[in-house]
Amino acid sequence: MAQFYSAKRRVTTRQIITVTVNDLDPFGQGVARHQGKALFVSGVLPQEQAEVVLVEDKKQYARAQVKRRLTDSPQRQAPRCPHFGVCGGCQQQHASVALQQQSKRAALARLMKREVDEVIAGVPWGYRRRARLSLNYQPKTQQLQMGFRQANAKAIVDVVQCPVLVPQLEALLPAVRECLSALSALRHLGHVELVQADNGPLMVLRHTAALPAGDREKLERFSQTHGLS
């Protein structure tokens, strides 16, 4: 009888350690050192010390979650978005704009293995011209969820505002939610995509079943009212 070797999954104990972050990775995670290897910790900035819990321990690196932040970096700022930390759309709103640009410039230099020019940046808020929002009807609450996916999860974060969107699209969010919630086919909605084009806003609605005539009429009226294409 043939026998096959299967490596046992490495079990990580919920060990609490104190670390000092010295860098940010390209995804905005804090990078510290533990037992000679890189330790990635979301939500901690360079120069900050924190108590963290190991959640993944690999041969070359480890990951941890923050239990308690002990010090604050002068580059820390209050996130502007109320969904930050849960929503998977943004990773660095807790860092100053200068630190974000510095870390991204350093990441690009490492990738290209050469020096890069100074960052040419636009406005820090209201710059995103496209948003793809997931939709999911909840029978228990009889509510339509509309938002981005949670970080590292499939659950939807209900979005009521998004300060990185251009103001025209952010202002549309409540009206889009109200319109879609009134459709009879809301159980068959997949996602809605909003785009701010040069000639005005666009909306693309993905659905898994044909829309009744009444729903199509509601969408046409909504499009005319809000100048959508």
**Class of residue 125 by CB neighbours under 10 A (exposed 0-12, middle 13-18, buried 19+):** middle
Task: Tell me, yes or no, whether 168 lies in a domain.
Answer: yes
pLDDT for residue 170: 97
8 A C-beta contact, residue 44 and residue 50? yes
Cα angle 179-157-81, degrees, rounded to a multiple of 5: 95
Domain boundary among 85, 112, 139: 112
Residues 135 and 88 in one domain: no
Domain boundary among 112, 140, 156: 112
Task: Tell me, yes or no, whether 193 lies in a domain.
Answer: yes
Residues 136 and 51 in one domain: no
CATH number for the domain harbouring residue 140: 2.40.50.1070
Cβ contacts of 135 within 8 Å, gap of 6 or more? 144, 145, 146, 180, 186, 189, 190, 191, 192
Give the Cα separation of 176 and 158 in Å (integer): 13
- Write out the residue range of the structural domain in which residue 156 sits: 130-226
Structural domain tally of the chain?
2
Domain boundary among 112, 145, 178: 112
The structure's pTM equals 0.82
Residues in the chain, how many? Answer: 229
Task: Tell me, yes or no, whether 208 lies in a domain.
Answer: yes
Sites in the chain below the pLDDT cut of 70 = 1-13
CATH number for the domain harbouring residue 92: 2.40.50.140
